[in-house]
């Protein structure tokens, strides 16, 4: 062939240069720059999180040290004893409500007659409630002493900070005028320590009063179930009494000069079960109830989203006609385009109320937690999060199925396998690693979601009562993302509360990082298995 008849080569090199770079080098710099931007953004986010959150544990340590040196820790031993008694009183109140409902709903007696039948029970409850009064009065007096010491210490810290700022501005005269008083904690705590012998007397009298109540004739209750619950109440009171010596031992061993370790400041966050802020008594920053709430709504979401997402992916990839594929795929992917705040409104206005009405059906009374007490709970939030996770799981699972070599499928059919056998025995095992990766990324998607859980999870900062079994999923919860969105606008920048929220963000960051790492490892293994 003559050289003049040959078609020109599609790619030609030119000598055009821009800023001294060839065209190829410019293209390479453009794509490399994009990758560099991603790395820089990730690095900046990481540095920002660590910079804002790293000071939390130092501040939390100071927070716990003040809690100890001001005597609040000492008084809390007694406050806990009083609160345990209050919990037992609530137990009795619950028994009364159940007995009253039995009389009115099942026996059909009028309200006056029901109250008349429960008079002996009420007298018993009053006697039990009165036993704690001496301790309650002492706790109130000691609380006033401890809070006064803490207030004095906080005022002193504010004045020290004021003087530091004035000195930094060069206002030496004003700084010298700021009054800072040294606090003698040994002297301030004497009223608390002097109470210890009197507490022994109160404790002995308290225990004797409980014995007298327990020795009374048990009040009549209408059903064997309620009588059994009352017997359990008596056991709980005995267990409660058995804790009294340990409280006295803890008071004897208490030392306000004992330093708070950095490990204690760390463990109180990681294992703490209380997230309590702006309290007159003591602020606590325990992440466990928030982590449990996030995990519960994520579990509900995945239980719903994984079968829906994977099932839809199998149908679309293996069974659906081209027309069905063109209709179903955009519909599922469009769900991810719905703003999460719109889903949250839907949860508040429709789904929560629908679940509540559904739970009141007699035919569904066997479902744990039904009827639900509150329409906004972990179940409602989890169902909505499932809608968010389905497109992610569907898309990634469908890609994994698409990547299974066609020869696997053809070989299965050649051996006489049916379509269902080929899907279950050949396609699914070959794509399993990719499907598991899709599940993990779906988990990462739902645990980081904010608006839906903030609107629909109930926002109760407490660990649900897992003694109720699966009914715990119908209780309100709060989540890590929800607490950040709810409280970040109310905190003082640089304060302990502000930094605590950033540490929660760091925990979320590492959870997302771990999930993505596991997903990448699984995908890598999948590629090797079919290579």
Q: What is the mean pLDDT of the chain?
A: 90
Q: What is the pLDDT of residue 21?
A: 75
| Confidence band of 304 (pLDDT split at 50, 70, 90) | very high
Reported as a single tens digit per residue, the pLDDT across 163-209 is: 988 998 888 888 888 888 888 999 999 999 999 999 999 999 999 99
Q: What is the pLDDT of residue 3?
A: 52
In this predicted structure, the answer to whether residue 475 has a pLDDT above a threshold of 90 is yes
- The pTM of this model reads 0.86
Q: What is the pLDDT of residue 23?
A: 77
∠ CA 438-444-448, nearest 5°, is 150
Kindly state the average pLDDT of the residues 364-369: 85
In this predicted structure, the answer to whether residue 1 has a pLDDT above a threshold of 50 is no
Q: Which of 71, 182, 127, 449 is nearest to 297 (CA)?
A: 449
Reported as a single tens digit per residue, the pLDDT across 378-404 is: 999 999 999 999 999 999 999 989 988
Q: What is the pLDDT of residue 15?
A: 65
| Confidence band of 10 (pLDDT split at 50, 70, 90) | low
SS3 198: helix
Reported as a single tens digit per residue, the pLDDT across 251-293 is: 999 999 999 999 999 999 999 999 999 888 999 999 999 999 9
In this predicted structure, the answer to whether residue 2 has a pLDDT above a threshold of 70 is no
Contacts of 401 (CB under 8 A, 6+ apart): 313, 314, 317, 318, 427, 431, 434, 435
Question: Helix 262-270 and helix 56-69: axis angle, to 10°?
Answer: 100
Q: Rounded distance, CA 45 to CA 38, Å?
A: 11
Q: Rounded distance, CA 513 to CA 65, Å?
A: 34
Q: Is 60 exposed, middle or buried (0-12, 13-18, 19+ CB in 10 A)?
A: buried
Q: Rounded distance, CA 297 to CA 385, Å?
A: 8
Q: Rounded distance, CA 97 to CA 99, Å?
A: 5
Q: Which residues pair with 276 in a beta bridge?
A: 284
Reported as a single tens digit per residue, the pLDDT across 43-87 is: 998 899 889 998 999 999 999 999 999 999 999 999 999 999 999
Q: Is 43 exposed, middle or buried (0-12, 13-18, 19+ CB in 10 A)?
A: exposed
| Confidence band of 337 (pLDDT split at 50, 70, 90) | confident
Contact 18, 26 (CB under 8 A): yes
∠ CA 392-395-396, nearest 5°, is 85
For residues 350-386, one letter each, b for 16 or more C-beta atoms within 10 angstroms of the residue's C-beta and e for the rest, the string is ebbeebbeebeeeeeeeeebbbbeebbbbbbbbbbbb
In this predicted structure, the answer to whether residue 5 has a pLDDT above a threshold of 90 is no
| Confidence band of 362 (pLDDT split at 50, 70, 90) | confident
């Amino acid at each position: 062939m003559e050289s003049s008849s040959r078609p020109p080569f599609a790619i030609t090199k030119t000598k055009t240069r821009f800023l001294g770079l060839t065209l190829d080098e410019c293209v390479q710099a453009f794509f490399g720059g994009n990758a560099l931007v991603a790395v820089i953004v990730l690095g900046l986010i990481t540095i920002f999180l660590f910079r804002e959150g790293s000071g939390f544990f130092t501040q939390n340590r100071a927070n716990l040290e003040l809690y100890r040196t001001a005597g609040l820790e000492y008084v809390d031993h007694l406050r806990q004893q009083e609160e345990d008694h209050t919990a037992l009183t609530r137990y009795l109140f619950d028994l009364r409500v159940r007995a009253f409902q039995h009389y009115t709903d099942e026996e059909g007696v009028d309200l006056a007659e029901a109250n008349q039948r429960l008079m002996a029970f009420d007298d018993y409850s009053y006697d039990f409630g009165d036993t704690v009064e001496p301790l309650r009065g002492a706790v109130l007096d000691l609380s006033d002493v401890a809070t006064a010491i803490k207030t004095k210490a906080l005022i002193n810290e504010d004045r020290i900070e004021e003087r530091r700022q004035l000195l930094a501005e060069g206002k030496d005269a004003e700084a010298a005028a700021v009054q800072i008083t040294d606090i003698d904690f040994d002297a301030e705590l004497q009223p608390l320590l002097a109470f210890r012998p009197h507490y022994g007397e109160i404790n002995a009298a308290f225990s004797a009063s409980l014995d007298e109540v327990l020795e009374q004739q048990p009040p009549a209750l209408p059903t064997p179930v309620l009588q059994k619950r009352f017997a359990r109440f008596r056991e709980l009171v005995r267990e409660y009494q058995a804790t009294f010596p340990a409280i006295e031992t803890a008071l004897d061993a208490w030392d306000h000069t004992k330093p708070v370790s950095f490990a204690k400041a760390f463990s109180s966050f990681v294992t703490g079960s209380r997230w309590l802020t702006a309290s007159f008594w003591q602020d606590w920053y325990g992440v466990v109830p928030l982590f449990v709430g996030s995990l519960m709504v994520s579990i509900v979401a995945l239980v719903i989203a994984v079968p829906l997402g994977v099932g839809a992916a199998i149908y679309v990839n293996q069974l659906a006609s081209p027309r069905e594929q063109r209709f179903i795929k955009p519909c599922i992917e469009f769900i991810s385009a719905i703003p999460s705040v719109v889903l949250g409104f839907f949860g508040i206005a429709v789904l929560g109320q629908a679940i509540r009405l559904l739970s009141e059906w007699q035919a569904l009374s066997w479902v744990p937690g039904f009827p639900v007490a509150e329409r906004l709970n972990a179940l409602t939030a989890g169902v909505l999060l499932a809608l968010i996770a389905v497109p992610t799981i569907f898309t990634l699972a469908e890609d994994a199925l698409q990547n299974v070599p066609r020869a696997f499928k053809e070989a299965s059919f050649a051996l006489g396998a049916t379509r269902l056998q080929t899907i279950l025995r050949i396609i699914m095992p070959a794509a399993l690693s990719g499907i598991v990766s899709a599940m993990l990324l779906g988990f990462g998607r739902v645990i980081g979601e904010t608006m839906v859980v903030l609107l629909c999870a109930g926002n109760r900062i407490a660990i649900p009562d897992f003694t109720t079994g699966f009914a715990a999923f119908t209780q309100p919860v709060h989540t890590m993302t929800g607490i950040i969105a709810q409280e970040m606008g109310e905190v003082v920048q640089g304060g302990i509360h502000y930094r605590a929220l950033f540490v929660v963000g760091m925990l979320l960051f590492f959870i997302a990082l771990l999930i993505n790492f596991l997903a990448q490892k699984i995908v890598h293994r999948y590629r090797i298995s079919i290579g």
